[in-house]
Structures are given as structure tokens and as C-alpha cells.
Amino acid sequence: MHILLVGDPAAGKTQLLKLIAALVPRGRYVSGKGTTAAGLTATVTRDEEFMGGWVLEAGAIVLSNKSMISIDEFDKMSKEDQINLHEAMSTQTVSISKATIQATLPAQTAVVAGANPKLSRFDPMRPISEQIDIPDTLLSRFDLKFILRDVPARERDESLVDHVIKSRIAEDEIKPLIDKEFFKKYIGYVRKNVNPRINREALATCKNFFVELRSKYAGEESAAVPLTLRQFEALIRLSEASAKIRLSEEVTKEDAQRAIKLMKASIKQLGYDPETGKLDIDRAEGGVSSSKRSRIRIVMDVIDDLQKTIGKNIPVTDLISSLEEEGVDEHAAESIIREMKNKGMLFEPRSGYIQKI
Ligand SMILES: Nc1ncnc2c1ncn2[C@@H]1O[C@H](COP(=O)(O)OP(=O)(O)OP(=O)(O)O)[C@@H](O)[C@H]1O
Ligand SMILES: [Mg+2]
């Protein structure tokens, strides 16, 4: 299983990634910023001190074979380094061929990655799927992708702050329901002793969901959320995981349904409606009311039209009068233009003129 968390700064990704690594036996945490592909996969170096030959050094993902690795700051890794992860993340091996050494190392390692959106924060005006700066090929290797947005919400903020305060003054009070050590042992036990077999019903459930969803995607040009056979395999793996965690030797229809629920949630978070396969604008642009959004659309369209006739720089007075023709009154037009300037969607090349970014 590979999971990707993309989120605003300070949304708690690092905390979560570190916790997961600590909860899983032999789990590891690395930060992409200070990690090279060599350090992550494998590297060949010259051993000057002892034997004088070439030596193979396993990277973190190989050392965590049969366990998991948290890779934080995934987007900050260089593109080449990300590409080097392709192999490890799909075939679960790391091959290296350098100097006198040729080797294939096992890397059955689950990856949980954390990343920021392209412009470090999600822009509520654009579909979320456009804002993840990770190549499609790599994105498709993540079975589940989740978005963490830092949107102020009074109740949630309060309880978060309370939690942080409690952790400072009385650690006992925030004791998790399941003890860390116990949880670790539980996972260790499951891994070693539970090997469920999937039943026909569960397989059929996964198959139906996948085929249905794919057919809805068929007409869609944008493959921003890749839906490939890998996602089908992921469904099976997720179903198996569901059976394992409840110590069952059989993967049932209920497990498959649970897997489907997770996959649907993941697709939905990226702004796609799993029911229709279409970009779900409301979800993708969440946080901006639809009336405001449509006004922004109108302004953008009007500017496009004006630019065709007037040129790049548009007099604000022309823009406002054109907007009035579209049914946006002067006052509303001024305020939306101001807001769009604040958001960096428009700028004033010189006083009284407006230009699109
Ligand atoms: N859900 C949460 N529960 C507890 N603490 C949280 C939560 N969300 C954020 N925090 C607190 O906010 C701070 C920032 O969180 P963290 O470093 O995990 O953010 P991040 O998502 O990794 O940010 P960045 O993208 O900048 O790396 C931490 O000190 C953490 O204690
Ligand atoms: Mg972080």
C-alpha cells in the first residue's frame, strides 16, 4: 500500500508521518529534503578503507523491506530522485547496476508520503488535482491520496489548541485509546500470523466497482486522477488489509466494501465525483461560495473578451461597465476586482488599468 498526503503547511502531516513510522515495527521516517535517491534506494560506493573494491549500500526503502517508510517533503525531492522511486513503488524491488556491481534488492516497502501543494498552499480557485506537483506516473503508484487543508474552523481549531495545551501540561489526559506499544505488537502479530484468502463475492464487488468507475472515466480527457489497473490491485490489497486488521482468514464482501469506501473518499478529495467520474467543481473549489465563484468566472470571461479587442491592459472603467452589462452592479464589481487583486489573480500595471496574471 502506498499513501500520499498532500496538504497546506502546518496541517499536521509531519506529525502524522512520524507517528505512523513509530507505530509500525521497523518503520522509518525520512525527509525528502535531506534525502537523495541513492540514500533512499541503493548506492554503490568505493570502499577505500578495507577491501578496496566497490560496495553496495542499501538505502532506507530497502532497509525497511516488509515494513513501511514515511517520506516527508516528497515534493521537495529532486525530480530524478522521485523517478528513481518508480521501480521500488511498483515492482517492489530496487535494481542497481554500477561499476562492478549488479544487484536487485527486495523493497516490499509501503510508502506513506507527505507533500505540499505546488504553490505551498491550496488555491481555492483551482481544481485540487491541478495543484499537486508530482508526475502522473508516480501519482498512479499511490493507492490512496488524501488532501489536508488548513481551513480555519472555530470548533476544530479550539479542540486542536486544547489538545496541544493538554499535551504540554498533562500528558496523561491525551493518552490514546490504544497504547502505542500494544498497537505495534498487534501489527507485528497480524503481519506474521494472518494471511487471509479473498472470497468470490469480495472479488466480484471490487471488480464491479472498478469497471463501473472506469467506464465513467472513459470519456474524460483529463487524467488528473489516474485510474489504472493498479487501483484495482490496490482495492484487493485494501480489502485484504481490512480482513487482516480484524484477524480474519477470509476477505469478505464487507472488507471489499470498506476498501471501496476508502478509495471513493480518496478520489472525492481530489475533486472528482466517484459517482459520475466528472470533476466535481464544488468539492475541488471548496471554501468559496458558488455565487462568488461564478462572479469570478464572469470577470475572467469579460477580461478575456476585452483583451481580444483592447489589448492586454484594460481600463478599470471599461471592465466595470462591461460587467454591468453582464448583470454585476458597480459596487459588486469593484469589490470582486479588489478581491481578485488581493488574491493575485489580477494586477494593476499602471493606475486605472487592470491585467490578468
Ligand atoms: N491534527 C493535529 N493534531 C495535533 N497537532 C497538530 C495537528 N495539526 C497540526 N498540529 C501541530 O501543528 C504543528 C505543525 O504540524 P506539522 O509540522 O505536522 O505540519 P506539516 O503538515 O508537516 O507542515 P509542512 O507542510 O509545513 O511541513 C505541529 O507542531 C503540530 O503539533
Ligand atoms: Mg512537515
Q: What value does the mean pLDDT take over residues 45-61?
A: 80
* Residue 220 and residue 119 share a domain: no
Distance (angstroms) between ligand 2 centre and the Cα of 146 equals: 15
Quote the CA–CA distance of 58 and 43 in Å, as a whole number.
7
* DSSP 3-state of 188: helix
Strongest mean pLDDT among 41-55, 58-72, 328-342: 58-72
CATH number at residue 20: 3.40.50.300
CA-to-CA separations, 148 to 121, 222, 339, in angstroms, rounded: 10, 23, 25
Is the Cβ atom of 15 under 6 angstroms away from ligand 1? yes
- pLDDT at residue 240 is higher than 50: yes
The pLDDT of residue 129 = 67
**Is residue 345 included in any domain, yes or no?**
yes
Which of 283, 311, 334 is the last residue in one of the domains? 283
**3-state SS, residue 225:** coil
| Predicted local distance difference test score (pLDDT) of residue 55 | 82
Mean pLDDT of the chain: 83
Q: Is the CB of 160 under 6 A from ligand 1?
A: yes
The whole model's pTM is what? 0.75
- Would you give the DSSP letter of residue 286? T
Average confidence (pLDDT) over 240-258: 96
> Which residue shows C-alpha cell 460587467?
323
> Does residue 267 sit in the same domain as residue 296?
no
What pLDDT sits at residue 29? 93
* Closest listed residue to residue 325, CA positions, set 353, 304, 303, 302: 302
- Among 283, 314, 336, the domain-final residue is 283
pLDDT score for 14: 94
Same domain, 209 and 342: no
Residue 272 class from Cβ within 10 Å (0-12 exposed, 13-18 middle, 19+ buried)?
Answer: buried
Q: What counts of helices (H) and strands (E) characterise the chain? A: 14, 14
Which domain covers residue 321, as residue numbers?
A: 290-356
Say how many Å lie between the first and final Cα of the chain, rounded.
40
Domain of 342: which CATH number? 1.10.10.10
**Cα(73) to centroid of ligand 2, in Å?**
7
Which of 135-139, 147-151, 175-179, 225-229 has the weakest average pLDDT? 225-229
Q: 101-106 and 42-46: which strand pairing?
A: unpaired
Give yes or no for residue 287 having a pLDDT over 50. no
Q: Taking residues 180-202, what's their average pLDDT?
A: 94
Pair 34, 140 in one domain = yes
Distance 180 CA to ligand 1 centre (A): 20
Question: Which ligand places an atom closest to the C-alpha of 15?
Answer: 1
Banded model confidence at residue 69, pLDDT cuts 50, 70, 90? very high
Rounded distance from Cα 281 to ligand 2 centre (Å): 28
pLDDT band at 284 (very low <50, low <70, confident <90, very high): very low
Same domain membership, residue 82 and residue 26: yes
Residue 188 lies in a domain: no
Same domain (yes/no): 41, 115:
yes
In contact, 147 and 272? CB cutoff 8 Å:
no
> 323 lies in a domain?
yes
Q: Which atom of ligand 1 is nearest to the CA of 8?
A: 25
Query: Which of 80-84, 205-209, 344-348 has maximum average pLDDT?
Result: 205-209
Residue whose C-alpha cell reads 462572479 in the numeric block: 295
Query: How far apart are the C-alpha atoms of 245 and 189, rounded to whole Å?
Result: 10
More confident residue, 293 or 17: 17
Q: How many domains does the chain have?
A: 3
8-state DSSP, 224? S
Find cell 476585452 and name the residue: 306
Strand partners, 44: 56
- One domain, residues 31 and 132: yes
Q: Are 79 and 201 members of one domain? A: no
Q: Which residues pair with 69 in a beta bridge?
A: 28, 111
- Nearest Cα to 144, choosing from 276, 12, 266, 274? 266
Which of 14, 31, 70 most suits a substitution to test ligand 1, by most atoms within 8 Å of the C-beta?
A: 14
The Cα 248–Cα 242 span in angstroms is 9
Q: What is the pLDDT of residue 272?
A: 65
Average confidence (pLDDT) over 42-49: 79
Q: Tell me, what's the pLDDT at 250? A: 96
Last residue of a domain, one of 283, 302, 332: 283
What CATH number does residue 231 fall under?
1.10.8
Top-confidence residue, 20 or 272: 20
Q: Answer yes or no: is the C-beta of 55 below 6 A from any ligand 1 atom.
A: no
Ligand index nearest the alpha carbon of residue 9: 1
Do 252 and 319 reside in the same domain of the chain? no
SS3 (DSSP) at 159: helix
Same domain assignment for residues 247 and 130: no
Q: Are residues 83 and 199 in the same domain?
A: no
Question: Does the residue 253 lie in any domain?
Answer: yes
CA of 12 to the centre of ligand 1 (A): 3
pLDDT of residue 278: 59
Ligand 2 ion: nearby residues, β-carbon < 5 Å = 14
Task: Count how many residues are written for the chain.
Answer: 357
Look at ligand 1, atom 26, and give the residue with the nearest C-alpha: 9
Q: Does some domain include residue 184?
A: no
Relative to the CA of 13, which ligand 1 atom is closest? Answer: 21
| Residue in 223, 241, 221, 232 with CA at minimum distance from that of residue 263 | 232
The pLDDT value given to residue 20:
93
Asked whether residue 213 falls in the same domain as residue 306, the answer is no
Task: Report if residue 169 sits inside a domain.
Answer: no
Residue indicated by cell numbers 469506501:
261
Average pLDDT over residues 237-241: 94
Name the residue at shortest CA distance from atom 18 of ligand 1.
Answer: 12
Give the model confidence (pLDDT) of 304-356 as tens digits.
889 888 888 899 999 999 998 888 888 888 888 888 887 778 888 888 898 88
What pLDDT, on a 0 to 100 scale, did the predictor assign at position 286? Answer: 41
Query: Atom 8 (ligand 1): residue with closest C-alpha?
Result: 12
**Of the segments 29-38, 47-56, 246-255, which one has the largest average pLDDT value?**
246-255
**Does the pLDDT of residue 85 top 80, yes or no?**
yes
